[in-house]
């Protein structure tokens, strides 16, 4: 384990003003989004969209890393350069999604276990040689009557820790992502309790597996009531409850927390991050972002219209959202800055 490399990469990913672009949608997911926007899905259309996005001028001031999918890390920019090399040349760390998806958890209806440990060491070796310097693995935790179960919590926590150990062994900073979904009618306190439970179990498993916490990042959900809950809390309450949960359940030597947007609107995701960074509460971590749709949604629908003008407009939209979240890193965002 190259501790110095891991700590350096982790700190650069969450350097002041910077966050992570999650562009690691699977081929199936990306194809569905392209089709919904009116674009015929194919390997080339997925490449073309992402190449345009990643060629945006100046976004490296707001983005320290980009998570790629297996197909994407093997593809080229429009000028023929490898996407990973193009990112590195701009001081952006290429990252890679390494899990193989969430599957049904045996004997536990409605719950999932993320798979992909088989062959992970060999994949990490290859991805490091291709330029990747960090990785992502997403666990999915659903709240409903009687769930999450102890089995779901323990199996996903163990998988996250084993993944993190293999990544660090091969020089990749692991992003540990135990996502408590917004789907459901649960209230914010139920989200808090489930999030606390999975965080405790995950970091206990990481301790057992010898994870070097200063060379890892956490990608958690914020504390938000379920989509179908009639009692939605304010942005200020989301920020307060999220910080309280993290202070009580996340190790202090973790260098950074990169929140997922998890279905929030673009502006909600930015506003919540901004409020957390404005709070007069001491905590040891960089509070940053690892957003996918919250950075790309409007950029994709604009690009899909076709033509050079739409491609340029798409880049402007992406640059704007990245810039807004960069400001939220220091609590300097405001709704008046949204155009």
Told to judge if 282 belongs to the known catalytic residues of this protein, a careful annotator would answer no
**DSSP per residue, 181-217:** PS-SS--HHHHHHHHHHHHHHHHHHHHHTT--GGG-E
Q: What share of the chain is helix, strand, coil (3-state, %, to 5)?
A: 50, 15, 35
- The answer to whether 13 and 256 have CB atoms below 8 angstroms apart is yes
Q: Which residue has the tokens 């650069």?
A: 12
Told to judge if 177 belongs to the known catalytic residues of this protein, a careful annotator would answer yes
Looking at 219, 236, 305, 309, which residue is catalytic? 219
Looking at 25, 111, 177, 197, which residue is catalytic? 177
Q: Per the structure block, which two tokens stand in for 154? A: 């323990």
Q: Which helix (H) or strand (E) holds 155?
A: helix 150-169
Torsion of CA 27, 33, 34, 35, to 10 degrees: 110
DSSP letter at 172?
Answer: P
Active-site positions read 177, 219
């Amino acid at each position: 384990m190259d501790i110095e490399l891991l700590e350096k990469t982790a700190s650069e990913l969450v350097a002041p003003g910077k966050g992570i672009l999650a562009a690691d949608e699977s081929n199936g997911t990306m194809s569905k989004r392209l089709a919904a926007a009116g674009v015929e899905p194919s390997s080339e259309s997925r490449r073309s969209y992402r190449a345009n996005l990643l060629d945006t001028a100046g976004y490296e001031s707001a983005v320290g890393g980009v998570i790629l999918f297996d197909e994407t890390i093997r593809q080229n920019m429009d000028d023929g350069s490898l996407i990973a090399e193009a990112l590195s040349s701009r001081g952006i760390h290429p990252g890679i999604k390494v899990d193989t998806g969430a599957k049904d958890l045996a004997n536990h209806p409605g719950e999932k276990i993320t798979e992909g440990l088989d062959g992970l060491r060999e994949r990490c070796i290859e991805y490091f040689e291709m330029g990747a310097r960090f990785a992502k693995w997403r666990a999915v935790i659903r709240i409903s009557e009687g769930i999450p179960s102890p089995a779901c919590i323990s199996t996903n926590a163990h998988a996250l820790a084993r993944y993190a150990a293999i990544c660090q062994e091969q020089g990749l900073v692991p992003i540990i992502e135990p996502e408590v979904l917004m789907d459901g009618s649960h209230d914010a306190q139920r989200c808090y309790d489930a999030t606390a439970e999975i965080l405790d179990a995950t970091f206990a498993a990481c301790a057992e597996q010898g994870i070097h916490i200063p060379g890892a990042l956490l990608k958690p959900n914020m504390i938000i009531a379920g989509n179908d809950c009639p009692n939605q809390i304010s942005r200020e309450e989301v920020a307060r409850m999220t910080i309280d949960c993290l202070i009580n359940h996340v190790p202090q030597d973790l260098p950074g927390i990169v929140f997922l947007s998890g279905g929030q609107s673009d502006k909600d995701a930015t506003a919540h991050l901004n409020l957390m960074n404005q709070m007069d509460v001491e905590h040891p971590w960089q509070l940053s972002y690892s957003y996918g749709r919250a950075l790309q949604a409007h950029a994709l629908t604009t690009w899909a219209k076709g033509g050079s003008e739409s491609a340029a407009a798409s880049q402007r939209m992406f640059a704007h959202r990245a810039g807004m979240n960069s400001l939220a890193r220091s609590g300097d965002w405001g709704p008046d800055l949204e155009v």
